[in-house]
Amino acid sequence: MKKVGIIGGSGYTGGELIRLVLQHPALELEFVFSTTRVGEPITSAHPDLLGRTDLVFTGTVNPEIDVLFLCLGHGKSSGFLTTHAFSEQTLIIDLGNDFRLAEAASFKGRSFIYGLPELQKEKIEKATAIANPGCFATAIQLALLPLAQSKKYAETVHINATTGSTGAGVGLSPTSHFSWRNNNLSWYKPFTHQHLGEIYRTLKQLNAPAKLYFLPQRGDFTRGIFATAYTSFEGSLEEAYALYEDFYSSAAFTQVSREPLSLKTVVNTNNCFLHLHLHENTLLVTSCIDNLIKGASGQAIQNTNLMMGWEETLGLELKATVF
């Protein structure tokens, strides 16, 4: 059993990560670090874990931990690692955005590898530090990777993606409060969302330049991302499906569907489901993920499995609740 430490475990992402670690057959949760809830039971923040763990939040860390997950607010991971030293053997997975971009990928002698397994599984297997992708970035990149690698898309891609309220974090705000969110729909950060940076980084890595017009939306549901992207495509629908099915033929969690998708088929799983639709010469790609699992904590466990040399699906064979 490999011992796990989690830094910042009181939010939605941290709670899902705790749940996944507790059910993982090769991981043992040793501590969950918090600056605001020291001494409180983990179940005080995550009542769904009642009976699963007796651990309390702690204000100390074990520097010899086998795996360290950082679930801090964006921009706070580098500060934490500056003030807390860990063994060179400790694997580090950052679920924030500190190390996702090329200019921030190296820190204290470690190279943080961008942790999108469908893009660079081999690099992840050799890594000691991972920059876990953002949730929107995961859904959108998985929608575009086959087109980008084959250079079979136009230089302009239009993207619309709707996320659940958990994407805004556990803290209340005017746009995450039930009274505002319920029976409501709105867009935010049009064409400027922070996840665009890591998507452009991947496109540059694949030498596939593109202009992305991304409109994020807040949905009237708690979890999941339903994303659509469309661009010009020269070829038939069958050729498009062949391209996608070949690209993802060995992917553990990304599946290509011939039937139209609904969000509930992926919620509570580490899956990404993709569907293609061709109208004249415009290809529409639909991508669905759970923002807290494939878009965050599940992908972090997937990366851990790869780094450890374990089966990629270990501890992640989860079933959606469709009805």
Residues designated catalytic: 135
What 3-state class would DSSP assign to 198?
Answer: helix
Cβ distance 163 to 217 under 8 Å? Answer: yes
**E-strand stretches of 123-207:** 129-131, 156-163, 186-187
Our CA angle for 7, 12, 18, nearest 5°, is: 55
Q: Concatenate the DSSP letters of all residues of 300-320 into one string.
A: HHHHHHHHHT--TTTT-----
Cβ distance 124 to 113 under 8 Å? Answer: yes
Task: State the pairing for strand pair 186-187/225-232.
Answer: unpaired
Give the contacts of 203 (CB within 8 A, at least 6 positions apart).
144, 148, 209, 210
Q: What is the DSSP letter of 55?
A: -
Q: Helix-strand-coil percent breakdown of the chain, rounded to 5?
A: 30, 25, 45
Cβ distance 241 to 256 under 8 Å? Answer: yes
Our CA angle for 119, 123, 126, nearest 5°, is: 150
CA dihedral 272, 253, 96, 262 (to 10 degrees): 20
| DSSP run (H or E) holding 272 | strand 272-279
The two structure tokens encoding residue 67: 């795996």
CA distance 313 to 295: 15
CA distance 181 to 204: 36
